[in-house]
Chain A
Amino acid sequence: MRGATDTPRASMRGALAAGAAFTILGATAKGQGKGFKVGLIGCGGRGGGALADHMAAAKRLGLESKVVATADWFKGKAEGVGKRWGLPPERCFGGGDAYRKLLETDVEVVLMATSPNFRPVHFAAAVAAGKHVFMEKPVCVDPPGGRAVIEAGELARKKGLCVVAGTQRRHSRGYQERAFRIQAGVEGKIVGGCVYWCGGALWRRERAEGQSDADYMVANWVSFTEMSGDHIVEQHVHNLDIANWFIGRPPVTAAGFGGRARRKTGNQFDFHSVDYDYGDGVHIHSMCRQVNGCWGRVGEDFIFAKALAVAKPDLKVPEFEEIGGAYQQEHADLLKGILDEKLYINEARAVAEASLTAVMGRIATYTGRLIRWDDLVKNKDSEWYALTCKPSAEDFEKGQVKAPPDDVVAIPGKD
């Protein structure tokens, strides 16, 4: 990735060149090349952080990007972040259709950091509107959502729109070097491994007096499967993404166990353990937990058949750039892709597949059944193919939200 855009001067050259070569940028961006108009959908902690990372990356690349709009379910939150970037309240949109209003502005780059149930709809709308996108992980909570993201990602490619996902390990130097060596075959073949996100309980928000179902679910989204996909999707997707990336394909089947030991609100589990079979005898054991006072580990362990390694003594591992940490670098890589078509980047499929991998594990732990990848992406007759978490993003937009009961969780199997 190191190259022409490494220094601010080089970046400017790239920016000017991009201005000439790209037609997808809005009219105001053409020929200007000094920066982009940026909008944020989802103004929580991660959204605010992503926006700050994006602006820092733009600055590093010599761009004078500008925040032009924010959107959130709660208008107050949109205004809160907007204020930090000098936006007037009328550029800060609230409500279920806030994302539409944001996309109707002159925004060029859209950052998406709402809860993941909204992502497929928001992403498809952004691509339709011709926007470049940074989208937080995960990008769906159910199989139709994952497929929608893949489809919109393909359309983005056709339109020359860049898409970067918040699976930031893909922008960390250490991980990229490792992936490069694995893909070059010098480490041997991955024949097994374990991936972990075992830690303490996350935050939760108790229901406020008189709060609507929709407001409660949005505020306490990290406790509801319909909003977050459950923590195997919401958090552990990072590690599953590494497994897919390093092995080079998504798993074939998942068999899993999970349950709820101590979670207080919502309807999610707080632990999952999944046996992912990647075919060819390769099993990856995934473990994730959000319970206080338990053993913790976040990371990935892979086992390599060294005997199958290819000797490449002259292999030169590129000097991957990671400035300001992977959270900033992912935005730098997005911007470089927009500025220079040789650096075009589109991570929609990878992040959708990682999210679907996690969804597959969740269906396995919720039902106790063996779940096949093809059941999620290919077999239209499968009972999982059309599995849709309700209330859906559309229900939120229409105002038809009924919160599922707190504390009623999935029970695998039958009596």
Chain B
Amino acid sequence: MKQGSLSRRDFMRGALAAGAAVGGLTILGATSRGQGKVLTAGLVGCGGRGTGAAVNFLEAAKFLNTEARITALADIAREPIEKTRTRLKEDGCEVPDAKCFVGFDAYKKLIDSGVDIVLLATPPVFRPAHFAAAVAAGKHAFIEKPVCVDPVGGQRVIELGAEAAKKGLSVVAGTQRRHQKVYLAGRKLVADGAIGTIWGGAVYWCGQASWRKPRDPGWSDLEYLTKNWINFVEMSGDHIIEQHVHNIDVMVWYLGALPTLAVAVGGRARRKTGNQYDFFSVDYTFGTLKGVHVQSLSRQVNGTWSREGEELIGDKGVMRSGRIVLHSKERVAPPEIPGHDNQYVQEHVNLLDSILKGKPLNEAQQVAESTLVGIMGRISAYTGQPVRYTDVAKPDGQYGKLAFSPTAEDFEKGQVKVPPDDVIPIPGVADE
């Protein structure tokens, strides 16, 4: 660890300050008042990313030299919970049986189990509903990206973020580049004008096929959808948001603006299951930035060219995934960024630190906006129509009321019908 502002002494001061501030905060549960409080978190969604987030959370607490524990786990099935439990045990964190909740309403039981923080890492279809329950119960939250699959979900997360802010709750999102040193340094340089006025760019997540789980004849629709979630747009939002939202987020973060218009193409070359595309190419226009265009390319097809990252070009230089190269070839020294070297840990460091200091951090709106920007591109590719940001972000926009089914609520009620595999959207109208 590079010593930045978070030396142990500094941190202790911060913690004390946070302790002192607690008198003024009503949002921490009664048990959290006073000093020496152990912050507790519950994990909803015990897949690979969820388990990773829990481990990162524990590591962050260690880094901050504070005590924080994972005290509850929730998932729709028992098996992943056990895997997560075993993994957390390695880090000295034991979750008792009574705090392991199974089922589609497990998140409610977890929220009621006395945790201070919830880590939400289910497939994104569930995020708005789970986040709503967490905010209603006054819990701080870590919300994995993306945070919705449709415009209605995105609008809801923005509203919930505002509500969380009113309650003084911290919300950190899993768009971890915002907590990554190279990106933070690059963002600072770009904001200070290092590459001059930005004229355009391209953002990429072009790679190989993701995993899939072919349907087992014994599975119910519900089981199949949740096991193979990454191949259904109703569950994941399609890969342009499930995966590529990271790069889209960097685009809007660095530009400090949202695109006003998206026109896109996309299709399905080789995906085997589900109803998603496997490639998208979007022309995003930033009307508020004198018509800057950024091209977004995302693909999940084996044997194809790969590139992941972001490139923005300005009149003085180019930004490539946080690194600055000037046209003049002069070198630019990136500013020193304090914190943990692992961005996945650092996001939890920032979450815990903001809670301890009583200075809520709230990333709900920014991650919801980036997800909605991805959704603009997806709708444009699916339909062949241009899509404005307001079309998805405003309830009275053209696609403002678009909501997929099954919804998170349908899953809770057990009313789930799997959409047909291999039926994908076809843009435009048939040629007569």
Contact = CB atoms under 8 A, between A and B. Distances in A.
B269 interface: yes
A297 to B, nearest CB: 8
Contact of A307 (B292, B316, B383): B316
Nearest to B385: A295
Contact of A192 (B200, B264, B304, B431): B200
Contacts of A304: 199
Interface in A4-48: none
Nearest to A304: B199
A293 B428 contact: yes
Contacts of B199: 191-192, 303-305
Contacts of B201: 192, 283
Of B199, B295, B305, most A-chain CB atoms within 10 Å:
B305
A301 B431 contact: no
B304 A271 contact: no
Interface in B258-307: 263-270, 272, 279-281, 283, 291-293, 295, 297, 299, 301-305, 307
Given A275-B297, A289-B384, A305-B199, A368 B303 contact: yes
Contacts, number: 157
Nearest to A371: B305
B313 interface: yes
Interface in A361-415: 364, 367-370, 411-415
B271 to A, nearest CB: 10
A296 to B, nearest CB: 9
A295 B293 contact: no
A413 B313 contact: no
Contact of B265 (A263, A273, A301, A415): A273
A262 B206 contact: no
Given A301-B293, A307-B196, A368-B299, A289 B202 contact: no
Contacts of B397: none
Contacts of B196: 305, 307
Place the interface of chain A in its size category: 35 or more
B429 A292 contact: yes
Interface in A249-274: 255-264, 271-273
A371 B169 CA distance: 50
A412 B202 contact: no
Contacts of A255: 206, 297, 305, 307
Interface string B71-94: 000000000000000000000000
A285 B431 contact: no
A411 B270 contact: yes
Q: Please classify how large the interface on chain B is, using the bins under 10, 10 to 19, 20 to 34, 35 or more.
A: 35 or more
Among B265, B272, B380, B384: residue with most chain A CB under 10 A: B265
A222 interface: no
A305 to B, nearest CB: 4
Interface in A274-308: 275, 281-283, 285, 287, 289, 291-295, 297, 301, 303-308
A364 to B, nearest CB: 8
A283 B301 contact: no
Contact of B313 (A192, A370, A414): A192
A116 B426 CA distance: 30
Contacts of A413: 269-270, 301-304
A56 B299 CA distance: 50
A292 B302 contact: no
B202 to A, nearest CB: 5
A198 interface: yes
Given A275-B297, A303-B293, A191 B428 contact: no
Contacts of A257: 265-267, 279-281, 297, 299
B295 A259 contact: no
B333 interface: no
Contacts of A263: 431
A80 interface: no
Given A192-B313, A255-B307, A370-B305, A415 B270 contact: yes
A285 B315 contact: no
B251 to A, nearest CB: 14
Nearest to A201: B431
A303 B384 contact: no
Interface of A: 191-194, 198, 201, 204, 255-264, 271-273, 275, 281-283, 285, 287, 289, 291-295, 297, 301, 303-308, 364, 367-370, 411-415
Closest 7 pairs between A and B when the two form their complex, measured CB to CB: A294-B384, A368-B304, A259-B267, A293-B429, A273-B281, A192-B200, A414-B303
10 contacts: A191-B199, A194-B283, A194-B295, A257-B267, A264-B431, A273-B264, A295-B386, A368-B299, A413-B304, A414-B303
Given A257-B266, A303-B292, 16 more contacts: A192-B200, A192-B201, A198-B263, A201-B431, A255-B305, A259-B265, A259-B269, A260-B267, A283-B313, A285-B281, A294-B428, A307-B315, A368-B304, A368-B305, A412-B303, A414-B303
